[in-house]
Structure 1
Amino acid sequence: MLINEALKAERKKKGLTQQAFSEGICSEGNYSKIESGKQRITANDLFLLLSKNYINYSDFIQKIQTDYCFGKNNNSSEEQLKLQVANAFYSRDVDKLKQLDFQIQNGSFKADLKRESNVLVHIVQKNVSKISPKVKQEYFINLFTVNNWFNDVDKVRLFSNTMNIFDDEELNLLISKFLRQSILFVNGNVYELEIASGTLVNYLYLCYSRRIDENNQFVFEKLNQLPEIPELFVYKCLGNYCKYLLLGKPNKAEEIKAFMSNNGLSKIMENHFL
Protein backbone atom coordinates (compact mmCIF):
# COMPACT_ATOMS: atom_id res chain seq x y z
CA MET A 1 0.00 0.00 0.00
CA LEU A 2 1.27 3.47 -0.88
CA ILE A 3 1.49 6.30 1.67
CA ASN A 4 -1.41 8.27 0.17
CA GLU A 5 -3.62 5.17 0.13
CA ALA A 6 -2.78 4.34 3.75
CA LEU A 7 -3.48 7.92 4.87
CA LYS A 8 -6.85 7.91 3.14
CA ALA A 9 -7.77 4.60 4.76
CA GLU A 10 -6.82 5.88 8.23
CA ARG A 11 -8.75 9.13 7.74
CA LYS A 12 -11.90 7.33 6.64
CA LYS A 13 -11.59 4.85 9.49
CA LYS A 14 -11.67 7.78 11.89
CA GLY A 15 -14.56 9.42 10.05
CA LEU A 16 -12.66 12.69 9.54
CA THR A 17 -12.80 15.20 6.70
CA GLN A 18 -9.57 16.05 4.89
CA GLN A 19 -9.59 19.46 6.58
CA ALA A 20 -9.96 18.01 10.09
CA PHE A 21 -7.36 15.35 9.42
CA SER A 22 -4.70 17.77 8.16
CA GLU A 23 -5.53 20.95 10.08
CA GLY A 24 -2.47 22.68 11.53
CA ILE A 25 -0.04 20.71 9.36
CA CYS A 26 -0.89 21.55 5.77
CA SER A 27 -3.75 23.16 3.86
CA GLU A 28 -6.78 21.12 2.88
CA GLY A 29 -5.91 21.70 -0.79
CA ASN A 30 -2.37 20.38 -0.40
CA TYR A 31 -3.53 17.43 1.65
CA SER A 32 -6.13 16.59 -1.01
CA LYS A 33 -3.32 16.45 -3.59
CA ILE A 34 -1.26 14.25 -1.27
CA GLU A 35 -4.11 11.84 -0.70
CA SER A 36 -4.85 11.61 -4.42
CA GLY A 37 -1.20 10.90 -5.17
CA LYS A 38 -0.63 14.15 -7.06
CA GLN A 39 1.78 15.59 -4.46
CA ARG A 40 4.42 13.95 -2.27
CA ILE A 41 4.35 14.39 1.49
CA THR A 42 7.54 15.15 3.42
CA ALA A 43 8.61 12.64 6.06
CA ASN A 44 8.20 15.33 8.71
CA ASP A 45 4.58 16.12 7.72
CA LEU A 46 3.77 12.42 7.51
CA PHE A 47 4.80 11.74 11.09
CA LEU A 48 3.13 14.93 12.28
CA LEU A 49 -0.12 13.71 10.71
CA LEU A 50 0.22 10.32 12.37
CA SER A 51 0.90 11.93 15.74
CA LYS A 52 -1.93 14.47 15.44
CA ASN A 53 -4.48 11.79 14.58
CA TYR A 54 -3.22 9.24 17.13
CA ILE A 55 -2.15 6.71 14.51
CA ASN A 56 0.42 4.16 15.65
CA TYR A 57 3.68 4.66 13.72
CA SER A 58 4.60 0.98 13.59
CA ASP A 59 1.16 -0.15 12.45
CA PHE A 60 1.10 2.48 9.71
CA ILE A 61 4.63 1.66 8.50
CA GLN A 62 3.75 -2.03 8.40
CA LYS A 63 0.99 -1.25 5.89
CA ILE A 64 3.34 0.55 3.51
CA GLN A 65 6.62 -1.31 4.00
CA THR A 66 6.07 -3.66 1.04
CA ASP A 67 6.20 -0.66 -1.30
CA TYR A 68 8.94 1.30 0.46
CA CYS A 69 11.24 -1.11 2.28
CA PHE A 70 13.34 -3.87 0.88
CA GLY A 71 14.85 -6.94 2.43
CA LYS A 72 18.46 -8.03 2.40
CA ASN A 73 19.94 -9.57 -0.70
CA ASN A 74 22.48 -12.28 0.05
CA ASN A 75 23.88 -12.31 -3.46
CA SER A 76 27.66 -12.27 -3.11
CA SER A 77 28.20 -9.82 -5.98
CA GLU A 78 25.88 -7.34 -4.28
CA GLU A 79 27.68 -7.71 -0.96
CA GLN A 80 30.99 -7.11 -2.71
CA LEU A 81 29.60 -3.98 -4.37
CA LYS A 82 28.42 -2.69 -0.99
CA LEU A 83 31.94 -3.12 0.37
CA GLN A 84 33.48 -1.36 -2.62
CA VAL A 85 31.01 1.52 -2.29
CA ALA A 86 31.83 1.86 1.40
CA ASN A 87 35.57 1.87 0.74
CA ALA A 88 35.24 4.45 -2.04
CA PHE A 89 33.09 6.63 0.19
CA TYR A 90 35.43 6.58 3.18
CA SER A 91 38.45 7.28 0.98
CA ARG A 92 36.50 10.08 -0.77
CA ASP A 93 37.28 8.52 -4.15
CA VAL A 94 34.65 10.38 -6.18
CA ASP A 95 35.53 8.83 -9.53
CA LYS A 96 35.41 5.28 -8.16
CA LEU A 97 32.16 5.96 -6.34
CA LYS A 98 30.55 7.37 -9.49
CA GLN A 99 31.74 4.36 -11.46
CA LEU A 100 30.23 1.97 -8.91
CA ASP A 101 27.01 3.97 -8.77
CA PHE A 102 26.65 3.74 -12.56
CA GLN A 103 27.08 -0.03 -12.32
CA ILE A 104 24.53 -0.29 -9.52
CA GLN A 105 21.91 1.99 -11.07
CA ASN A 106 22.06 0.07 -14.36
CA GLY A 107 22.14 -3.40 -12.83
CA SER A 108 19.46 -5.69 -11.46
CA PHE A 109 20.09 -4.83 -7.82
CA LYS A 110 17.72 -4.17 -4.93
CA ALA A 111 16.23 -0.70 -4.66
CA ASP A 112 17.81 -0.09 -1.24
CA LEU A 113 21.35 -0.51 -2.65
CA LYS A 114 20.56 1.82 -5.56
CA ARG A 115 19.13 4.40 -3.18
CA GLU A 116 22.05 4.26 -0.75
CA SER A 117 24.63 4.46 -3.55
CA ASN A 118 22.85 7.49 -5.01
CA VAL A 119 22.84 9.25 -1.64
CA LEU A 120 26.54 8.60 -0.99
CA VAL A 121 27.57 9.94 -4.39
CA HIS A 122 25.69 13.18 -3.75
CA ILE A 123 27.24 13.55 -0.29
CA VAL A 124 30.81 13.10 -1.51
CA GLN A 125 30.17 15.58 -4.33
CA LYS A 126 28.68 18.00 -1.77
CA ASN A 127 25.44 18.45 -3.66
CA VAL A 128 22.92 16.83 -1.34
CA SER A 129 20.30 19.39 -2.40
CA LYS A 130 20.12 17.51 -5.72
CA ILE A 131 18.96 14.26 -4.11
CA SER A 132 15.43 13.70 -5.38
CA PRO A 133 12.60 14.08 -2.83
CA LYS A 134 11.46 10.54 -3.69
CA VAL A 135 14.86 9.00 -2.91
CA LYS A 136 15.16 11.03 0.28
CA GLN A 137 11.69 10.04 1.50
CA GLU A 138 12.24 6.35 0.78
CA TYR A 139 15.63 6.49 2.48
CA PHE A 140 14.16 8.14 5.59
CA ILE A 141 11.39 5.54 5.85
CA ASN A 142 13.91 2.74 5.34
CA LEU A 143 15.91 4.01 8.33
CA PHE A 144 12.94 4.90 10.53
CA THR A 145 11.32 1.47 10.17
CA VAL A 146 14.33 -0.39 11.57
CA ASN A 147 13.27 -1.68 14.99
CA ASN A 148 16.80 -2.26 16.23
CA TRP A 149 19.56 -0.70 14.17
CA PHE A 150 22.21 -2.64 16.05
CA ASN A 151 21.04 -5.89 14.56
CA ASP A 152 22.62 -4.36 11.46
CA VAL A 153 25.42 -2.01 12.51
CA ASP A 154 26.13 -1.15 8.88
CA LYS A 155 22.75 0.60 8.90
CA VAL A 156 23.97 2.77 11.77
CA ARG A 157 27.21 3.50 9.95
CA LEU A 158 25.21 4.54 6.90
CA PHE A 159 23.00 6.86 8.96
CA SER A 160 26.08 8.31 10.63
CA ASN A 161 27.57 9.31 7.30
CA THR A 162 24.40 10.50 5.58
CA MET A 163 22.50 12.35 8.31
CA ASN A 164 23.21 15.72 6.69
CA ILE A 165 20.68 14.99 3.92
CA PHE A 166 17.80 15.27 6.40
CA ASP A 167 16.15 18.46 7.55
CA ASP A 168 16.14 19.32 11.26
CA GLU A 169 12.77 17.68 12.02
CA GLU A 170 13.63 14.45 10.22
CA LEU A 171 17.02 14.33 11.89
CA ASN A 172 15.44 14.82 15.31
CA LEU A 173 13.09 11.86 14.73
CA LEU A 174 15.98 9.60 13.71
CA ILE A 175 18.48 10.63 16.39
CA SER A 176 15.80 10.38 19.10
CA LYS A 177 15.11 6.79 18.07
CA PHE A 178 18.84 6.10 18.00
CA LEU A 179 19.35 7.54 21.49
CA ARG A 180 16.50 5.47 22.93
CA GLN A 181 18.50 2.34 22.13
CA SER A 182 20.85 3.31 24.94
CA ILE A 183 21.46 -0.29 26.00
CA LEU A 184 24.17 -0.32 23.33
CA PHE A 185 26.30 2.03 25.43
CA VAL A 186 26.25 -0.52 28.24
CA ASN A 187 26.36 -3.88 26.46
CA GLY A 188 27.80 -3.09 23.05
CA ASN A 189 31.08 -4.58 21.88
CA VAL A 190 34.00 -2.34 20.87
CA TYR A 191 33.07 -2.37 17.19
CA GLU A 192 29.48 -1.32 17.94
CA LEU A 193 30.64 1.30 20.42
CA GLU A 194 32.95 2.83 17.81
CA ILE A 195 30.14 3.13 15.28
CA ALA A 196 27.72 4.52 17.85
CA SER A 197 30.31 7.02 19.07
CA GLY A 198 31.07 8.17 15.54
CA THR A 199 27.36 8.70 14.96
CA LEU A 200 27.04 10.91 18.04
CA VAL A 201 30.10 12.94 17.04
CA ASN A 202 28.77 13.49 13.52
CA TYR A 203 25.42 14.57 14.97
CA LEU A 204 27.07 17.09 17.32
CA TYR A 205 29.03 18.67 14.49
CA LEU A 206 25.88 18.91 12.39
CA CYS A 207 24.18 20.58 15.37
CA TYR A 208 27.01 23.11 15.45
CA SER A 209 26.70 23.76 11.71
CA ARG A 210 22.93 24.18 11.87
CA ARG A 211 22.64 25.74 15.33
CA ILE A 212 20.56 22.85 16.69
CA ASP A 213 20.47 22.35 20.46
CA GLU A 214 17.55 19.97 21.08
CA ASN A 215 19.42 16.76 21.99
CA ASN A 216 22.89 18.10 22.67
CA GLN A 217 22.97 17.58 26.43
CA PHE A 218 21.74 14.01 26.14
CA VAL A 219 24.41 13.28 23.51
CA PHE A 220 27.12 14.78 25.76
CA GLU A 221 25.98 12.46 28.54
CA LYS A 222 26.11 9.43 26.23
CA LEU A 223 29.66 10.24 25.17
CA ASN A 224 30.70 10.68 28.82
CA GLN A 225 29.28 7.23 29.58
CA LEU A 226 31.60 5.55 27.09
CA PRO A 227 34.15 3.24 28.70
CA GLU A 228 37.67 4.62 28.99
CA ILE A 229 39.40 2.32 26.54
CA PRO A 230 42.02 3.17 23.87
CA GLU A 231 39.70 2.30 20.97
CA LEU A 232 37.31 5.11 21.95
CA PHE A 233 39.89 7.76 22.79
CA VAL A 234 39.56 9.52 19.42
CA TYR A 235 35.78 9.73 19.73
CA LYS A 236 36.01 11.28 23.17
CA CYS A 237 38.39 13.90 21.72
CA LEU A 238 36.09 14.59 18.77
CA GLY A 239 33.12 14.81 21.12
CA ASN A 240 34.88 17.40 23.25
CA TYR A 241 35.90 19.31 20.13
CA CYS A 242 32.24 19.57 19.09
CA LYS A 243 31.16 20.39 22.63
CA TYR A 244 33.48 23.38 22.82
CA LEU A 245 32.27 24.60 19.43
CA LEU A 246 28.67 24.37 20.59
CA LEU A 247 29.48 26.11 23.87
CA GLY A 248 31.08 29.01 22.01
CA LYS A 249 34.64 28.21 23.11
CA PRO A 250 36.55 28.08 19.79
CA ASN A 251 39.97 28.42 21.47
CA LYS A 252 39.38 25.23 23.45
CA ALA A 253 38.19 23.49 20.27
CA GLU A 254 41.33 24.60 18.44
CA GLU A 255 43.50 23.13 21.19
CA ILE A 256 41.94 19.72 20.60
CA LYS A 257 42.27 20.10 16.83
CA ALA A 258 45.96 20.99 17.18
CA PHE A 259 46.53 18.05 19.54
CA MET A 260 45.01 15.63 17.03
CA SER A 261 46.94 17.14 14.14
CA ASN A 262 50.23 16.91 16.04
CA ASN A 263 49.54 13.24 16.72
CA GLY A 264 48.73 12.27 13.15
CA LEU A 265 44.96 12.23 13.57
CA SER A 266 43.98 15.13 11.32
CA LYS A 267 42.64 12.78 8.61
CA ILE A 268 40.14 11.39 11.08
CA MET A 269 38.77 14.86 11.71
CA GLU A 270 38.48 15.47 7.97
CA ASN A 271 36.53 12.23 7.49
CA HIS A 272 34.10 13.07 10.29
CA PHE A 273 33.61 16.71 9.45
CA LEU A 274 33.32 16.59 5.67
Structure 2
Amino acid sequence: MNIRRESMTIGELLKEERIKKGLTQKQFADSIVSVSYYSKVEKNEHRITAEDLITILEHNNIPLCSFFKELSLKSNFQHEYKIDLEAKVMDAYYHSDKILLEKIIQDLEKSSSTDKTDDILIVKGWLESLKEDEEEPDIEVRNALKDRVFNIPDLNKEKLTLFCNFMDFYDLDSNVMIARKAINKFISSNETEIQEVLLAMLANLLCLSIKEDNYNYVEYLVTSSEKLPLKPQFFFYKDMICFYKYLSSYHFNHNKDDLNTCLTIISNVKLAGMSEYGSELEKFLNNHI
Protein backbone atom coordinates (compact mmCIF):
# COMPACT_ATOMS: atom_id res chain seq x y z
CA MET A 1 0.00 0.00 0.00
CA ASN A 2 0.97 3.61 -0.16
CA ILE A 3 2.23 6.16 2.33
CA ARG A 4 0.15 9.05 1.09
CA ARG A 5 -1.76 11.26 3.47
CA GLU A 6 -4.34 13.29 1.59
CA SER A 7 -3.70 16.82 2.88
CA MET A 8 -2.45 19.03 5.68
CA THR A 9 -4.67 18.71 8.75
CA ILE A 10 -6.05 21.39 11.04
CA GLY A 11 -3.84 20.04 13.83
CA GLU A 12 -0.71 20.39 11.71
CA LEU A 13 -1.55 23.98 10.75
CA LEU A 14 -2.36 24.88 14.37
CA LYS A 15 1.07 23.56 15.35
CA GLU A 16 2.70 25.59 12.59
CA GLU A 17 0.90 28.78 13.70
CA ARG A 18 1.80 28.15 17.35
CA ILE A 19 5.49 27.66 16.54
CA LYS A 20 5.47 30.86 14.44
CA LYS A 21 4.29 32.76 17.51
CA GLY A 22 6.87 31.07 19.75
CA LEU A 23 4.22 29.76 22.14
CA THR A 24 4.03 26.56 24.14
CA GLN A 25 1.01 24.30 23.76
CA LYS A 26 -0.21 25.47 27.18
CA GLN A 27 0.03 29.14 26.16
CA PHE A 28 -1.61 28.53 22.79
CA ALA A 29 -4.53 26.49 24.14
CA ASP A 30 -4.79 28.68 27.29
CA SER A 31 -7.28 26.46 29.13
CA ILE A 32 -9.72 26.51 26.20
CA VAL A 33 -8.99 22.79 26.00
CA SER A 34 -6.61 20.78 28.16
CA VAL A 35 -2.95 20.65 27.14
CA SER A 36 -3.08 16.85 26.80
CA TYR A 37 -6.12 17.10 24.52
CA TYR A 38 -4.60 19.89 22.45
CA SER A 39 -1.35 17.95 22.10
CA LYS A 40 -3.32 15.09 20.55
CA VAL A 41 -5.03 17.52 18.14
CA GLU A 42 -1.61 18.59 16.84
CA LYS A 43 -0.65 14.92 16.41
CA ASN A 44 -3.92 14.17 14.57
CA GLU A 45 -4.98 11.82 17.35
CA HIS A 46 -8.07 13.89 18.24
CA ARG A 47 -10.42 16.06 16.24
CA ILE A 48 -11.09 19.53 17.60
CA THR A 49 -14.63 20.87 17.70
CA ALA A 50 -15.49 23.88 15.55
CA GLU A 51 -16.31 25.91 18.67
CA ASP A 52 -12.95 25.18 20.34
CA LEU A 53 -11.05 25.83 17.11
CA ILE A 54 -12.67 29.24 16.64
CA THR A 55 -12.00 30.16 20.28
CA ILE A 56 -8.32 29.17 20.02
CA LEU A 57 -7.88 31.11 16.78
CA GLU A 58 -9.56 34.22 18.23
CA HIS A 59 -7.48 33.96 21.42
CA ASN A 60 -4.27 33.92 19.36
CA ASN A 61 -5.38 36.69 16.96
CA ILE A 62 -5.52 34.36 13.93
CA PRO A 63 -8.34 35.34 11.54
CA LEU A 64 -10.60 32.37 10.79
CA CYS A 65 -10.77 33.19 7.07
CA SER A 66 -6.96 33.45 6.77
CA PHE A 67 -6.49 30.18 8.66
CA PHE A 68 -8.69 28.17 6.30
CA LYS A 69 -7.28 29.88 3.22
CA GLU A 70 -3.80 28.88 4.38
CA LEU A 71 -5.03 25.35 5.12
CA SER A 72 -6.39 25.03 1.58
CA LEU A 73 -3.18 26.34 -0.04
CA LYS A 74 -0.91 24.12 2.04
CA SER A 75 -3.16 21.11 1.51
CA ASN A 76 -2.93 21.41 -2.27
CA PHE A 77 0.85 21.77 -2.13
CA GLN A 78 1.26 18.96 0.37
CA HIS A 79 -1.02 16.68 -1.64
CA GLU A 80 1.24 17.03 -4.70
CA TYR A 81 4.36 16.65 -2.55
CA LYS A 82 3.05 13.45 -0.94
CA ILE A 83 2.04 11.95 -4.28
CA ASP A 84 5.53 12.62 -5.65
CA LEU A 85 7.20 11.22 -2.54
CA GLU A 86 5.00 8.13 -2.60
CA ALA A 87 5.79 7.47 -6.24
CA LYS A 88 9.55 7.67 -5.63
CA VAL A 89 9.40 5.46 -2.54
CA MET A 90 7.17 2.82 -4.12
CA ASP A 91 9.32 2.70 -7.25
CA ALA A 92 12.43 2.20 -5.10
CA TYR A 93 10.68 -0.43 -2.96
CA TYR A 94 9.32 -2.50 -5.84
CA HIS A 95 12.75 -2.45 -7.50
CA SER A 96 14.41 -3.36 -4.15
CA ASP A 97 16.57 -0.23 -4.55
CA LYS A 98 17.96 0.33 -1.06
CA ILE A 99 20.39 2.98 -2.29
CA LEU A 100 17.54 5.10 -3.66
CA LEU A 101 15.55 4.75 -0.42
CA GLU A 102 18.60 5.90 1.56
CA LYS A 103 18.95 8.86 -0.83
CA ILE A 104 15.28 9.76 -0.26
CA ILE A 105 15.90 9.71 3.51
CA GLN A 106 18.91 12.02 3.09
CA ASP A 107 16.86 14.43 0.97
CA LEU A 108 14.05 14.42 3.55
CA GLU A 109 16.52 15.20 6.34
CA LYS A 110 17.57 18.34 4.44
CA SER A 111 14.00 19.39 3.60
CA SER A 112 11.85 21.97 5.40
CA SER A 113 8.73 19.76 5.39
CA THR A 114 6.77 20.14 8.63
CA ASP A 115 6.18 16.42 8.95
CA LYS A 116 9.52 15.17 7.62
CA THR A 117 10.12 13.18 10.83
CA ASP A 118 7.09 11.00 10.05
CA ASP A 119 8.07 10.70 6.39
CA ILE A 120 11.62 9.64 7.30
CA LEU A 121 10.30 7.00 9.72
CA ILE A 122 8.01 5.54 7.05
CA VAL A 123 10.75 5.43 4.39
CA LYS A 124 13.04 3.75 6.93
CA GLY A 125 10.21 1.27 7.44
CA TRP A 126 10.19 0.40 3.73
CA LEU A 127 13.96 0.01 3.91
CA GLU A 128 13.50 -2.39 6.82
CA SER A 129 10.94 -4.36 4.79
CA LEU A 130 13.60 -5.05 2.15
CA LYS A 131 15.97 -6.69 4.63
CA GLU A 132 16.64 -10.38 4.25
CA ASP A 133 16.03 -12.69 7.22
CA GLU A 134 19.75 -12.89 7.98
CA GLU A 135 20.16 -9.08 8.13
CA GLU A 136 20.15 -7.28 11.48
CA PRO A 137 16.77 -5.53 12.00
CA ASP A 138 16.58 -1.94 13.20
CA ILE A 139 14.47 -2.58 16.31
CA GLU A 140 14.13 1.13 17.06
CA VAL A 141 12.53 1.85 13.67
CA ARG A 142 10.24 -1.18 13.88
CA ASN A 143 9.07 -0.31 17.40
CA ALA A 144 8.52 3.34 16.42
CA LEU A 145 6.24 2.21 13.57
CA LYS A 146 4.35 -0.13 15.89
CA ASP A 147 3.89 2.77 18.32
CA ARG A 148 2.58 4.93 15.49
CA VAL A 149 -0.08 2.34 14.74
CA PHE A 150 -1.19 1.91 18.35
CA ASN A 151 -1.09 5.65 19.12
CA ILE A 152 -3.85 6.29 16.57
CA PRO A 153 -6.87 5.95 18.89
CA ASP A 154 -9.49 4.71 16.42
CA LEU A 155 -9.29 1.96 13.84
CA ASN A 156 -9.56 4.26 10.82
CA LYS A 157 -8.17 4.31 7.28
CA GLU A 158 -4.90 5.97 8.37
CA LYS A 159 -4.24 3.35 11.05
CA LEU A 160 -5.26 0.49 8.78
CA THR A 161 -2.97 1.69 5.97
CA LEU A 162 0.00 2.12 8.31
CA PHE A 163 -0.60 -1.34 9.78
CA CYS A 164 -0.96 -2.88 6.33
CA ASN A 165 2.31 -1.36 5.14
CA PHE A 166 4.37 -2.84 7.96
CA MET A 167 2.61 -6.04 8.98
CA ASP A 168 5.81 -8.05 8.73
CA PHE A 169 7.09 -6.28 11.89
CA TYR A 170 4.42 -8.06 13.98
CA ASP A 171 4.01 -11.71 14.84
CA LEU A 172 1.30 -13.58 12.94
CA ASP A 173 -1.13 -13.90 15.86
CA SER A 174 -0.99 -10.14 16.54
CA ASN A 175 -1.52 -9.47 12.84
CA VAL A 176 -4.59 -11.70 12.75
CA MET A 177 -6.00 -10.13 15.92
CA ILE A 178 -5.77 -6.61 14.42
CA ALA A 179 -6.99 -7.86 11.05
CA ARG A 180 -10.11 -9.46 12.59
CA LYS A 181 -11.04 -6.12 14.19
CA ALA A 182 -10.55 -4.36 10.84
CA ILE A 183 -12.56 -6.97 8.94
CA ASN A 184 -15.42 -6.86 11.47
CA LYS A 185 -15.54 -3.07 11.26
CA PHE A 186 -15.03 -2.47 7.54
CA ILE A 187 -16.04 -5.60 5.60
CA SER A 188 -19.43 -4.03 4.74
CA SER A 189 -17.96 -0.65 3.83
CA ASN A 190 -18.70 0.65 0.34
CA GLU A 191 -15.70 3.00 0.43
CA THR A 192 -13.31 1.94 -2.33
CA GLU A 193 -10.14 3.04 -0.49
CA ILE A 194 -11.09 1.06 2.63
CA GLN A 195 -11.87 -2.01 0.52
CA GLU A 196 -8.49 -1.68 -1.19
CA VAL A 197 -6.61 -1.53 2.12
CA LEU A 198 -8.51 -4.57 3.40
CA LEU A 199 -7.58 -6.59 0.32
CA ALA A 200 -3.93 -5.57 0.61
CA MET A 201 -3.99 -6.53 4.31
CA LEU A 202 -5.51 -9.94 3.53
CA ALA A 203 -2.95 -10.60 0.78
CA ASN A 204 -0.11 -9.68 3.16
CA LEU A 205 -1.52 -11.94 5.87
CA LEU A 206 -1.78 -14.89 3.52
CA CYS A 207 1.83 -14.34 2.48
CA LEU A 208 2.98 -14.19 6.13
CA SER A 209 0.96 -17.31 7.02
CA ILE A 210 2.68 -19.33 4.28
CA LYS A 211 6.09 -17.93 5.23
CA GLU A 212 5.58 -19.14 8.79
CA ASP A 213 4.13 -22.47 7.64
CA ASN A 214 0.97 -21.66 9.57
CA TYR A 215 -2.17 -22.44 7.57
CA ASN A 216 -4.67 -22.07 10.42
CA TYR A 217 -6.01 -18.75 9.18
CA VAL A 218 -5.93 -19.30 5.42
CA GLU A 219 -9.58 -20.30 4.96
CA TYR A 220 -10.80 -17.36 7.06
CA LEU A 221 -8.60 -14.89 5.15
CA VAL A 222 -9.62 -16.19 1.72
CA THR A 223 -13.31 -16.26 2.66
CA SER A 224 -13.07 -12.68 3.95
CA SER A 225 -11.45 -11.54 0.71
CA GLU A 226 -14.28 -13.09 -1.32
CA LYS A 227 -16.78 -10.84 0.48
CA LEU A 228 -15.11 -7.81 -1.10
CA PRO A 229 -16.09 -6.85 -4.67
CA LEU A 230 -13.83 -7.09 -7.70
CA LYS A 231 -13.13 -3.62 -9.05
CA PRO A 232 -10.49 -2.79 -11.69
CA GLN A 233 -8.18 -1.16 -9.11
CA PHE A 234 -8.39 -4.28 -6.91
CA PHE A 235 -7.23 -6.71 -9.58
CA PHE A 236 -3.62 -6.94 -8.38
CA TYR A 237 -4.63 -7.73 -4.79
CA LYS A 238 -7.27 -10.23 -5.89
CA ASP A 239 -4.65 -11.86 -8.11
CA MET A 240 -2.18 -12.13 -5.21
CA ILE A 241 -4.85 -13.59 -2.92
CA CYS A 242 -5.61 -16.12 -5.65
CA PHE A 243 -1.89 -16.99 -5.85
CA TYR A 244 -1.63 -17.61 -2.09
CA LYS A 245 -4.94 -19.50 -2.06
CA TYR A 246 -3.77 -22.02 -4.67
CA LEU A 247 -0.30 -22.27 -3.16
CA SER A 248 -1.92 -23.11 0.20
CA SER A 249 -4.12 -25.67 -1.51
CA TYR A 250 -1.07 -27.25 -3.17
CA HIS A 251 0.59 -27.52 0.26
CA PHE A 252 -2.16 -29.93 1.35
CA ASN A 253 -3.11 -31.90 -1.77
CA HIS A 254 -0.12 -31.50 -4.15
CA ASN A 255 -2.53 -31.10 -7.03
CA LYS A 256 -0.55 -30.00 -10.10
CA ASP A 257 -3.47 -27.88 -11.30
CA ASP A 258 -3.01 -25.66 -8.22
CA LEU A 259 0.70 -25.31 -8.94
CA ASN A 260 0.01 -24.50 -12.59
CA THR A 261 -2.45 -21.79 -11.54
CA CYS A 262 0.31 -20.21 -9.42
CA LEU A 263 2.72 -20.35 -12.37
CA THR A 264 0.11 -18.73 -14.64
CA ILE A 265 -0.35 -15.86 -12.18
CA ILE A 266 3.43 -15.34 -12.03
CA SER A 267 3.57 -15.31 -15.82
CA ASN A 268 0.76 -12.74 -15.98
CA VAL A 269 2.49 -10.50 -13.44
CA LYS A 270 5.67 -10.55 -15.53
CA LEU A 271 3.75 -9.91 -18.75
CA ALA A 272 2.10 -6.91 -17.10
CA GLY A 273 5.56 -5.35 -16.71
CA MET A 274 6.25 -6.22 -13.06
CA SER A 275 9.15 -8.53 -13.85
CA GLU A 276 10.96 -7.97 -10.53
CA TYR A 277 7.82 -8.68 -8.56
CA GLY A 278 7.13 -11.75 -10.69
CA SER A 279 10.63 -13.04 -9.98
CA GLU A 280 10.05 -12.53 -6.24
CA LEU A 281 6.80 -14.51 -6.48
CA GLU A 282 8.65 -17.24 -8.37
CA LYS A 283 11.28 -17.41 -5.64
CA PHE A 284 8.52 -17.46 -3.00
CA LEU A 285 6.78 -20.31 -4.82
CA ASN A 286 9.97 -22.38 -5.07
CA ASN A 287 10.67 -21.88 -1.36
CA HIS A 288 7.22 -23.12 -0.31
CA ILE A 289 6.47 -26.15 -2.50
| Counterparts of 2:125 and 2:104, CA distance in 1 | 13
- Counterpart of 1:48 in structure 2 is none
Preserved CA contact (<8 Å) 1:202 1:272? no
- What's the Cα RMSD here? 3.8
- Counterpart of 2:191 in structure 1 is 188
In structure 2, the CA distance between the partners of 1:149 and 1:235, relative to structure 1 (3 Å rule), is: same
- Cα deviation for residue 206 of structure 1 reads 0.9
Q: 1:260 aligns with which of 262, 265, 280?
A: 265
The 5-angstrom pairing of residues 190-269 of structure 1 reads 191-247=193-249, 248=251, 249=253, 251-263=256-268, 264-265=271-272, 267=274
Worse overlay, 209-218 or 72-81: 72-81
| Counterparts of 1:258 and 1:266, CA distance in 2 | 16
- Counterpart of 1:87 in structure 2 is 91
In structure 2, the CA distance between the partners of 1:135 and 1:218, relative to structure 1 (3 Å rule), is: same
- SS across alignment from 1:130: coil
- Cα deviation for residue 200 of structure 1 reads 0.8
Q: 1:124 aligns with which of 121, 130, 133?
A: 130
Preserved CA contact (<8 Å) 2:243 2:265? no
- Cα deviation for residue 163 of structure 1 reads 1.4
In structure 2, the CA distance between the partners of 1:179 and 1:145, relative to structure 1 (3 Å rule), is: farther
| Counterparts of 2:243 and 2:134, CA distance in 1 | 25
TM-score (norm 2): 0.56
- SS across alignment from 2:186: coil
| Amino acid across the alignment from 1:212 | N
| Counterparts of 1:124 and 1:232, CA distance in 2 | 24
Show structure 2 runs of 5+ residues with no match: 1-35, 46-73, 285-289
TM-score (norm 1): 0.59
In structure 2, the CA distance between the partners of 1:100 and 1:228, relative to structure 1 (3 Å rule), is: closer
- Counterpart of 2:108 in structure 1 is 104
Show structure 1 runs of 5+ residues with no match: 1-62
| Amino acid across the alignment from 1:180 | N
| Counterparts of 2:190 and 2:196, CA distance in 1 | 13
Larger Rg: 2
| 2:139 matches 1:139 | no
Identity of aligned residues (%): 17
- Cα deviation for residue 237 of structure 1 reads 3.4
In structure 2, the CA distance between the partners of 1:236 and 1:84, relative to structure 1 (3 Å rule), is: closer
* Cα deviation digits, residues 142-190 of structure 1 (max 9, x gap): 113431332x3xx54443342112223432343233323234x54122x
Worse overlay, 202-211 or 161-170: 161-170
| Counterparts of 1:175 and 1:238, CA distance in 2 | 17
| Amino acid across the alignment from 2:85 | L
| Counterparts of 2:258 and 2:167, CA distance in 1 | 23
| Counterparts of 1:244 and 1:145, CA distance in 2 | 37
- SS across alignment from 1:187: coil
Preserved CA contact (<8 Å) 1:85 1:117? yes
- Counterpart of 1:178 in structure 2 is 182
| Amino acid across the alignment from 2:259 | E
- Cα deviation for residue 209 of structure 1 reads 0.6
| Counterparts of 1:186 and 1:258, CA distance in 2 | 33
| Counterparts of 1:129 and 1:199, CA distance in 2 | 25
Give the number of aligned pairs.
206
Preserved CA contact (<8 Å) 2:92 2:100? yes
In structure 2, the CA distance between the partners of 1:244 and 1:260, relative to structure 1 (3 Å rule), is: closer
